[in-house]
């Protein structure tokens, strides 16, 4: 980093060069820093007034200021980048499987009703399938469809050898029994991982589920791919939904973390979260988790996707700007867990096709 002494009366300010260790040296031995403006030189963007004898005013160049800001912030866990890596791996495997045995994995997606957000999710899943070479089958039914009609489509997909994964987009219309419909999906094709047998196996030691729910699986995959240790760590899951919170807690437990679930009836949640080395938040409350809740150096996976400002902006459950100054790593919203959910759905579909056809 370059520091310019703006207190100099010479025509050219004296420039001092420090590497990153030099910045640490300054902070430790010179004292507190005050940030301000100095001079008209565009490369001298900030001044540091140092508590020294005699007092000095040093200007930080743009490059050094940027470096310092990055150093003070948490590592960004880039879900888009990791999801792309996984999708590239899936593309290769789909091609290899097709060439070897002539089978292409297939995913059937059912959408009941006219919810715009659900329609968007289904459209994105279809595009994702196409991008990796997986066949997609789509069924759209009106809001007032009978439950028996939905069950008939599920039964047909269960028997269709070209379909290796079945996904029923949630939520369902209120007149339908979600449990009946999800239970109708064959466990061998339950790529969403919501079948009670899959969840039961996930909860039991020594048992392996056929599939793990996609969003929690994506959270753990991010921790693995970034090399964060889970074993022996204190982990807190905020939220206890069947879709994210509960299976995420089970997965962390399988990884030998000590797991606590925080929910709407938990007393003093901020104190519990403050003890966590790993935090996974999935409650759907914008900016609920403040920076003061978080342990310095913790790793935060923010599953929340919450529209604010009349839907023009998306934020997570965790106050990002506060958290990034405290924790060691955090997922952004958007661009964190979201892309991983679809990547895990594609991964589960490929795994199902390999298992059904005994392809290694």
Asked about 169 being catalytic, the answer comes back as yes
* Cα(242)–Cα(183) distance, integer angstroms: 14
Residue among 169, 190, 233, 295 flagged as catalytic = 169
Main-chain phi, psi angles of 336, to 5 degrees: -110, -95
Determine contact, residues 48/3, Cβ cutoff 8 Å: yes
Whether residue 253 lies in the annotated active site: no
The span from the CA of 343 to the CA of 214, in Å, is 8
- Report residue 319: phi and psi, to 5°: -70, 100
Question: Which residue among the candidates 46, 125, 189, 217 is catalytic per the annotation?
Answer: 125
Give the Cα separation of 84 and 223 in Å (integer). 16
Phi-psi category of residue 148: left, alpha or beta, with phi > 0 → left and psi -120 to 50 → alpha: alpha
Report the distance separating Cα 141 and Cα 133, nearest Å.
Answer: 25
Report d(CA 236, CA 229) in Å as an integer: 15
Select which of 46, 189, 192, 317 is catalytic: 192
Residue position matching structure tokens 């913790």: 298
In DSSP terms, which residues pair with 25 in a beta bridge?
Answer: none
* Cα 8 to Cα 4: distance, rounded to the nearest angstrom: 9
192 is catalytic: yes
> Which of the residues are catalytic?
125, 169, 192
């Amino acid at each position: 980093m370059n520091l310019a002494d703006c207190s100099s009366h010479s025509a050219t300010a004296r420039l001092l060069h420090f590497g990153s260790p030099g910045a640490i040296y300054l902070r430790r031995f010179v004292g507190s820093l005050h940030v301000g403006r100095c001079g008209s030189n565009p490369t001298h963007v900030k001044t540091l007034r140092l508590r020294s004898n005699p007092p000095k005013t040093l200007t930080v160049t743009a490059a050094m200021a940027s470096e310092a800001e990055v150093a003070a912030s948490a590592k960004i866990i880039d879900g888009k980048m990791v999801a792309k890596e996984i999708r590239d791996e899936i593309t290769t495997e789909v091609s290899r499987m097709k060439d070897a045995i002539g089978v292409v994995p297939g995913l059937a997606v059912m959408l009941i009703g006219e919810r715009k957000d659900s329609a968007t999710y289904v459209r994105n899943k279809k595009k994702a399938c196409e991008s990796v070479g997986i066949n997609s089958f789509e069924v759209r039914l009106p809001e007032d469809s009978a439950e028996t009609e939905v069950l008939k489509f599920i039964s047909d997909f269960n028997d269709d050898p070209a379909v290796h994964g079945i996904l029923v987009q949630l939520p369902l219309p209120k007149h339908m029994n979600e449990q009946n419909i999800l239970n109708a999906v064959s466990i061998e094709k339950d790529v969403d991982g919501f079948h009670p047998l899959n969840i039961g196996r996930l909860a039991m030691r020594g048992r392996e589920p056929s599939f793990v729910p996609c969003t929690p699986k994506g959270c753990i995959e991010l921790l693995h791919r970034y090399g964060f240790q889970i074993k022996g760590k204190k982990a807190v899951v905020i939220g206890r939904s069947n879709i994210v919170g509960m299976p995420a807690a089970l997965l962390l437990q399988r990884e030998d973390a000590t797991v606590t679930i925080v929910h709407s009836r938990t007393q003093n949640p901020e104190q519990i979260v403050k003890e966590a080395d790993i935090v996974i938040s999935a409650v759907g409350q914008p900016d609920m988790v403040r920076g003061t809740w978080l342990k310095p150096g913790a790793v935060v996976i923010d599953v929340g996707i919450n529209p604010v400002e009349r839907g023009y902006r998306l934020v997570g459950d965790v106050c990002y700007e506060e958290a990034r100054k405290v924790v060691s790593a955090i997922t952004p919203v958007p661009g964190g867990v979201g892309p991983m959910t679809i990547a895990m759905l594609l991964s589960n579909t490929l795994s199902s096709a390999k298992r059904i056809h005994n392809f290694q």
